[in-house]
Each structure stands twice: as C-alpha cells, then as structure tokens.
Structure 1
Amino acid sequence: MRSKRLFTIRFRFYSKLLGALTLLLGSLAPLSNAYAEVKLAKLFSDSMVIQRGQPFNLWGTAAAGEGIKVVFNGRSYSAQANGQGRWLVTLPAQSASTGQTIEIHASNSLALSDVAFGDVFLAGGQSNMEYKLDQVISRFPEEKTLDHYPDVRHFDVARHYDFSGPQSDINGGQWAKAGKDTVGRFSAVGWFFAKDLSERVGVPIGVISSNVGATPIESWMSLEALQAFPEAQAMAYKLSNETSRMALRAEYAQQRKSWLRKNPNQKLPWLIKHSTSLDFKPTGFYNAMIAPLQPMKFAGVIWYQGEGNTKDPKGYSDKFRGLIGLWREYFAQPKLPFMFVQLANFQKPDMQPAESRWAELRAQQAEVFSTVDYTSMALAIDVGERHDIHPKDKKTVGERLALGARHWVYGEPGVDYVSPMVSDARASGARVVINFDYIGEGLTVRGDRLSGFAIAGEDEKYVWAKASLQDNEVTVWSDSVRKPKHVRYAWATNPEGANLYSISGLPAVPFSVEIERY
C-alpha cells in the first residue's frame, strides 16, 4: 500500500516536471525562431536615404551560419552570418535616385521600399541641434504650410547610453520624409541645413540626428579617444564596470536625498540633477548612439555643441580635435567634412569688459577650425537670445552650416563660407591697426558706428574702445590707454552690439590677441 502511494506521488511529481519542461521549451521556441529570423539593423527602414557615390553596406542579424541573399536592381549579393549571428553585405556605389527597393532573403524575407540615394549627413551635439522645428515654429510658421517640400528625409536616433563598450545596434528610430505632418519633428537646424542644400543640388538629403541635450563633448568620445584626458577616461573605466556603476548610481542618489533634506519643499536644481546623472558621463552616448552607425557612410557631419563644456573650457579644442579624428577613423572617412556651430550669444550683456568662459570656448572652437582640415565654423553670436539658451533662429544657423557643405562637399566655386578672422594686430602709437583674413568682397559695419572692441595695456585692464573701418582695416583706440598691448572683439558671453561683418553677411569671429609693435 505504501509503495503504491509512493509510486503515485512520484508519478505526479514527474508529470508536473515534464509539463513544466514542455512549457519552458515551448516558451523558448519562439525566442529561438525570432533570433533565427533575418533582421536589418534598426537604421534601415522604408524611405531611408543611402549615401550615393560610395559602395554601401547593409547589415543585421540572423542565425549563426545562415546564408543571406540581397536583391537590388536585378542583381543578387550574398553573405553568411558569422558565429555571433552578424552579417554584412556591400553593394556597389549608386548615383542619386529615388523609389528604389531592396530585398533581403533567407529563412524569411524583408524588403525596403522607397529607398533614396543621395547625401547623408550626421547631425550631432546637444540640445540646440536636438531642438525640433515644432519648438521654433512660432518664428517660422511657413515651414508647416509649404506648397512643395524638397526631398529631405530625417532619422532621429533614439536616446540611449551604454558604458560597457560600443554597441552593435541603436535602440530605435524611424525614417520620415519631409511634409506638413512630419517636418515639425525634424531637428530644426538639420531641416534648414538640408532644405537649403536640397534646393541647390537637387538630390535627396538625409539627416541622421543623433544628439542629446546638455551633453559635454566627452559623452560622444570613445574610451580610447579619452586617453589624453585622464580624469574623463578614469570615469569611463569606472562606469564600464557594472559593480562600480551601481555604486556610483547609489552615491548620486544619496547626494540628491541629502540636498533635498537640507532644502525641504524645494525643487532639485538642474545643475545637481545633471551632475548626479549617469547620462552625461564620458563615452555613454558614443557607445550607444554613434558607434552602432558604423559602417554607414556620410557626406559630412554637422555639429552644434559646446554649452555643456563652458564650465571648464580649457582643453576643449584638444577634445574636439580628438572627436573629429575618432569619428573620421571610425567611419573610415579621413576627409569627412565637419561643419560646426560656434556658440551663440547668451545672457545679459556686460556693462564693462569682463572675462567669459563662453568667449574662451568660442576661441577654442575657432582654434579647431584653424588647425583641422575639412572643417567649417558657422557663427551664431548675432542670432542668440539673452534669456534663452535655445535661440529660435535656427534658420540662419542651418544655412550658415550649409555654406561649409557647399564648399567641402559640393565644391561650389567662390562660396564665401568662412567668417572674417583676425590675422594680425599692430600698434602704431596709441592706436591699433587690425587686419583680417577671409574677408571675401570686403568688410562692412552694420549700424552707425563700429562697436564690440575692448583694449588694454600691460596691466590687462580692459576698457571699451573706439573703432573705425577703412579699406578693410580696423583701427582701435581709447584715450585712457596710451600704450595698448591687448585687444579683444566680441569677447563676452553675450557680445551684443558687435557689428563687424563681411559684405556677404557673415559676422567676424570673436578674438583676443596680444598686439605687435611697429
């Protein structure tokens, strides 16, 4: 009797175990089948733009060892997934076109429709690049009611960060063609940049928008690229370890709680939120939002960033040079054009000449333009807003960025794409004579009198200076400085009133120089 009961118990136990195993295997089967399905990287979708004029890549995942066939323009191209289930097919360069279809066949079939071949630009940086057209539409309402939209297509890379290393795919995104119902979601700077180019060159323009507000430049650099910056690299190493990362997250949470205890009924300040968030630490966004775009090809990069580094502008030029070199190497395009924006004017203008971290960072940006080939710098010191770090005039910025692309990407002859830059400043008695490079057809003053200059002697105590323009030379002086040694132009967080321009309409680049003697 006892053995019979024991048999019954064991039978029920093994029956339940077998049922559980069957259920488990059944639940795993769909996952296994899903993994075996051929998939494209998330960057690929209907209505996308692929860079013309260069061999292009399609890539994705499948079951390890699975054969993949890509059909395009009546020809087939084959590949095989590697041991990690990754595959890549390279197809020949194409000329500009629209309405193309690409098919992918394996255990299942996929198709990309309405594919365009044109010029693709990567739009990077922080919030002023991220800002959507809808956020500035009060300034440009006509952009939502155009009779005809140029063939501009936009892909917004989903925000995501990862400190474990470069990722193989982005978190998501979708291509969209410009139209009344879609253009409001485009990067505003990206839209005006692409619209200008599309209307000039007559080919589809794609903008891959990969940017996050408030990010410092270190967030968009790799671990190896930070080697020259030990503090940032040490933080990146720390974050690459899960245990250390969790400990830092707990430490930041405690810092927030401590502040709130000391400041009851107050909202946590943005600066504390920012400094105690992992999001903005080194390498995170590069790993998750830039590295997965390889091996895409681009016509160029547009970049609007710098506000996130104004707290400590020293060394920004070295970091920016490192980022440009990193991206060019990573995408295997050593001459990839970089068109970037110099910081806009912001905050209340100074009553007297003063030091400015924003002015220092602008000087670092100008240094990058002067020392790195295939770059252009779009000025924004005349389109900012003193009360808003996100100025609404993204049209001027986008079109000034497009000047650089017209020169470097399209080789347009005679395009005036560089703002006037100081070449030398020499003292003649109590006056300083300043000459400029990149003046195009010449210099001009917007307003009744030239302003924006400050002058100082050996003591470096700056005072506002008088200035005049004659024969493309600027003369600067002050009755209170008999032996000038230093001169500055537009050297302020908000250099409102600086009004020296090229005749073509580009503002002169801010500067601070030591004066030579005749």
Structure 2
Amino acid sequence: MNKYWFYKVGLVVVFLCFAVVGGAKVKLPALVSDGMVLQRGEQVNLWGTAAPGETVNVAFLKKKYKTVADAQGNWKLMLPALKAGGPYTMTINDIELKDILVGDVWVCSGQSNMELPVARVTDRFRDEITADSNYPMVRYIKTPLLYDFHAPQTDIPGISWKAMTPENVMSFSALVYFFAKDFYQKTKVPVGVINSSVGGSPVEAWLSEEALRPFPSYLNEKRIYESDDLIASMKKEERKKSHAWNVALYQGDKGMHEATPWYADGYDDSDWQQTELFASGWATNGLNPINGSHWFRKDFQVSEQQAGEQATLRLGCIVDADSVYVNGTFVGTVSYQYPPRIYTIPAGLLKAGKNTVTIRLFSYGGRPHFVKEKPYKILFGKGQPEKGELEISLEGNWKYRLGAPMPAAPGQTAFHYKPAGLYNAMIAPLLNYTVSGIIWYQGESNVSRRNEYKALLSAMITDWRGRWNRPEMPFYIIELADFLSPEDKGGRAAWAEFRKVQAEVADTNANVTLIKNGDLGEWNDIHPLDKKTLGQRLSRAVFQQRSN
C-alpha cells in the first residue's frame, strides 16, 4: 500500500466526517415552533439538539444570541425578559420561526373538565361562540394522551400551536376558551395555553417518581408497570376478553337475528312491554343490574310540512352506550355514558304520519338508565327550541324488550392512570418552557381517597415548582362543581368534604388560589356546561393577582 492510497482514504474519512456534522442540523422541540407564545417579563428558555460542539445562533427582536451544543448534542440558552407584543419572527441557525407572540403562558392540567371542548358547551353558548370566537392573539396546544413508566421524556411530538379562530375553536378546552378570551379582553396581552390533561386521571398519575417517594404504595404500583412486556401481555389478554364479550353479546341478541330486526321500519312491537323512560324496573332483576343489551322503541308523528326535512335527535345522556335508528336507518352511536346524544336525522328519512326511533342500549357493568333532566326530543329548524323552532318530545312511555342479558363486561386496565405515567410523558417535556403558572382542574377521580389528597396535591405543587425552578409559581385550583342526586346524601357529602380538602391545599401552600366552582354544578352531569362563569372567575383572579 502506498502513501497515495492512504492519502485518498484520509480524504474520504474527512469528507464523511464533515458530511455527518453538516447533516446534524439544529432540531427544536415541538413547543418551540411557529405560532408559539413566549412568556413576557421573565427570562425565556430556548433549547434543542444539534451536533456536539455546534454553534447555535439565535436572532430575535434585532438582537443576537449564541451558544454551543454540549457533548451529548443538547443546547439551551436564555432570552432576556421580553415585553408583550407580536407577531415576530425568530431564526435559529437555518430555521425560521414565524408568527411568534410574547404574552402570558399557562399550563392547564387535570382531568375531563379541563379537557371538555367548546363543542360540548354549544347547547348553552352557541350564539356567543359563533359570533365571538376570533381571537388570533390567543394560542392553544392540546397535548395527546401519552404515558411512560421508565423516565421523564423530553418532547411531545406532533403538537402545534393553534390560534383561537372560528376554524379551530371547537376543539379548544371550553374553560380555556372563556378564560383566555376574558383575560385578553382585560389586558390586550397575548395568551398562550398548553393544555396537558386527561379525562379520568387521578392526581398520582401527575406526580414524578421522586415526588411519589413519601407515598410507597403508589411508588410500588408504578414499579409494577415498568415492564413493557407485562403491559403488552395485559393489553393483548384484555382485548381478547373484550372481543369475546362483544361477540357473545351480538350472538345472543335476538334483536339482531330475528327475520325482521328489532330496529327495522315497520317491525311489529305490539307484544313489547311498556316502560316510562326514566323508570328503573327494566334495568334490574329486582336486586342487581341487568347488563348486556336493552331495546327501546317509540313512535312519533310528523306533519306533511316536516316530512323530508333534516332534524336533530336529542337523547340526553345514556348509561352506558347506544346505537340509534330512525325508521330502520342507523343515525348514530356513542360508546360511553358522558357525551350528550345529538344525532342528525338526514333529510328525506322522516315521513308524514308515523315514524319510529329505536335505541339499542348497552350496559357494561353498572345500572343502565337514561339520565333525567336532559333533552329527549326531535328538533326541526336549527335545533334551538329557545328560538321558536318546532320540537317533538320523546319523554313518557316507550316499548321495551331485553336483547341479550350478559355478565358484566371485562375490565380494561387504564395504564395511563397509573402513578407517574402522565408526569413523565405529558409534564416533563414542558419543563423547559417558561410559563406564568399552572391552572389545575382535577379531583373527581380522587374523591373516594380524599383523605390523602391534600398530601398528594401539595407534593405535586412543590415538585412542579421545583422542576420549573420557580418556588412560588402561581397555582390556581378549580374547586369541584356540585354533583350527584339530592337523594345521594353520602355521595354529596363526600364531594363536599373533597372541596374542603381543596381549600386546605390552597390555605396551606403559598401562592395557591382556589377558584370557586361548587355553585356551578349540575346534579346529573359530572361535566357542567357553565364554563363561561368559571372562566371569567379564573380570569378575574389571575388579573387581580398580576395587578398587585
């Protein structure tokens, strides 16, 4: 081998090294992207990855900043405190970020009442949402459901900032919508919200492993689910059981297999028993609930004028799930109990004279029923009876027949509710982002363990503050709304005790504010609609605190 050969090989190696380094461009986390809101009045973190030793240049607001990626390829720098404004543009090496605002940024977390979208409150606030939802200086991110039991994660891929516009607003959290809009109207300061919440989640899922150390039972539970193989095998087995249950339900349901299905137009239901919509006799065997499928049919009359029109079918809320047919045609389904049943009856389906609505109700494990004091009707026009559109009531007597009695459906393990899982995947990736504070609406899933909630939530507050490196970062706790039937005295007492625990957390932790919400509840709905009053109360509290 001659020197010339070694020379050529050396050139190739050097070339390849430059190619590798040159290809390792700066990468940014999903939060640092077009449309983001940077926190005003605080030093602001920017971070990402690059080739080890690579220089990272940032240009923003006519100033330049520089740092160097460390040996692992991580880099981070701080911008000085910024004044509210925008939109601006930022460059980070060869990346250009557009439409950046500077204002107040909030992390909103908790469970379903924090998640509940604007679309779910349009019954009550349709006109306002339609006429007043264009606030492009308000930006929003909803993190997807993720969990991890191994370690805190560093990014949440696939998320992006969205402006509050009519095109986007229906997916915004309803509470966030009313809070952010009201706060912007008060201050004219841009608002950014990162909504990292999961319906049904207990508080322990949002604590880090370190914060769980004083709670060994939860820490040990977390350790059980560190095995990916265990989770995969449990999921596989549970899917098999669920599939078998559903197959048995279908095979055993006479309503699906008779020569004329029970949902068919013109089916003879003359031998079915009569039951009042809110009666309970059909739902039990005299002592225990009957799970499986239950069928209901009701005839209603439509005029010549209404025939052929599109209409809206409202069936309140149903425990647990349903499939619905009008004149033998499938019009909709909901797979769990909480969402309002709002189904469109397409134009041409209704006919003059007698029509029939059929409900196939599914009960998985509790007492099946129709929730009282909800709308059960057919609406013509725009479906807004308060504006004078015609409606046909569906309350009163229905025809009833049991389809397939079943044992309770096999349970599904909610792995994302296990300790530390949500913290690792949905909070840890946010910790570098500079924020104004935390808004927390959670607790429904911890009412039965309210005796330990004060310690758990206080530990979470301390932990989050430490990890954001802000020992007195503001926390706003949303009080649980009133819930449960007046007849359920024990349940109502438990919820009242829980609200006292929430107040104790606010009283014993500095810079924690309780936002009153108990009076805004609905006894028959764990998701009360009046998020407007609540959002305005929250906005007022934040505004007063920032003004002091």
TM-score bracket, shorter-length normalisation: 0.5 to 0.7
* Residue type of the alignment partner of 1:382: D
Task: Say whether 1:146 aligns with 2:132.
Answer: yes
Q: Which one of 42, 46, 49 corresponds to residue 61 of structure 1?
A: 49
When the two structures are superposed, what TM-score results if normalisation uses the length of structure 1? 0.68
Task: Say whether 1:87 aligns with 2:87.
Answer: no
* Contact 2:134/2:166, CA 8 A, preserved across alignment: no
Task: Identify which range, 380-389 or 251-260, moves more after superposition.
Answer: 251-260
Matching residue of 1:309: 446
Matching residue of 2:183: 197
Task: Deviation per CA, 1:51-93: give whole Å up to 9, x if none.
Answer: 0111111111222332211111222212222233222121111
- Uncovered stretches (5+) of structure 2, i.e. residues with no partner: 1-16, 253-291, 293-361, 367-408
* Contact 1:218/1:319, CA 8 A, preserved across alignment: yes
Matching residue of 2:546: 409
Matching residue of 2:159: 173
* Residue type of the alignment partner of 1:54: E
Matching residue of 1:508: none
Q: Which one of 315, 318, 339 corresponds to residue 455 of structure 2?
A: 318
- For 2:232 and 2:195, the matched residues in 1 are separated by 30
After TM superposition, give the deviation of residue 368 of structure 1 in Å. Answer: 0.5
Identity of aligned residues (%): 38
* Residue type of the alignment partner of 1:99: P
Matching residue of 1:338: 475
Matching residue of 1:122: 107
- Uncovered stretches (5+) of structure 1, i.e. residues with no partner: 1-28, 412-518
Matching residue of 1:206: 192
After TM superposition, give the deviation of residue 325 of structure 1 in Å. Answer: 0.7
When the two structures are superposed, what TM-score results if normalisation uses the length of structure 2? 0.64
Matching residue of 1:70: 58
Task: Deviation per CA, 1:97-141: give whole Å up to 9, x if none.
Answer: 112111011xxx111111111111111111100111122122112
Matching residue of 1:133: 118
After superposition, the Cα gap between the structure-2 partners of 1:198 and 1:238, relative to the gap in structure 1 and judged at 3 Å, is same
- For 1:67 and 1:170, the matched residues in 2 are separated by 25
- For 1:390 and 1:214, the matched residues in 2 are separated by 12
After superposition, the Cα gap between the structure-2 partners of 1:250 and 1:339, relative to the gap in structure 1 and judged at 3 Å, is same
- For 2:73 and 2:224, the matched residues in 1 are separated by 30
- For 1:148 and 1:354, the matched residues in 2 are separated by 41
Matching residue of 1:233: 219
- For 2:426 and 2:491, the matched residues in 1 are separated by 38
After superposition, the Cα gap between the structure-2 partners of 1:247 and 1:378, relative to the gap in structure 1 and judged at 3 Å, is same
After TM superposition, give the deviation of residue 148 of structure 1 in Å. Answer: 5.7
Q: Which one of 278, 287, 307 corresponds to residue 415 of structure 2?
A: 278
Task: Say whether 1:104 aligns with 2:108.
Answer: no
Q: Which one of 44, 49, 52 corresponds to residue 37 of structure 2?
A: 49
* Residue type of the alignment partner of 2:426: M
* Counterpart secondary structure, 1:137: helix
- For 1:186 and 1:88, the matched residues in 2 are separated by 31
Matching residue of 1:473: none
Query: Size of the alignment, in residue pairs?
Result: 380
After superposition, the Cα gap between the structure-2 partners of 1:306 and 1:67, relative to the gap in structure 1 and judged at 3 Å, is same
* Contact 1:122/1:298, CA 8 A, preserved across alignment: yes
* Counterpart secondary structure, 1:356: helix
Cα RMSD over matched residues? 2.9
- For 2:447 and 2:159, the matched residues in 1 are separated by 30
After superposition, the Cα gap between the structure-2 partners of 1:275 and 1:321, relative to the gap in structure 1 and judged at 3 Å, is farther
Task: Deviation per CA, 1:398-448: give whole Å up to 9, x if none.
Answer: 11222321233332xxxxxxxxxxxxxxxxxxxxxxxxxxxxxxxxxxxxx
Matching residue of 1:164: 150
* Counterpart secondary structure, 1:395: helix
Task: Say whether 1:36 aligns with 2:24.
Answer: yes
Matching residue of 2:389: none
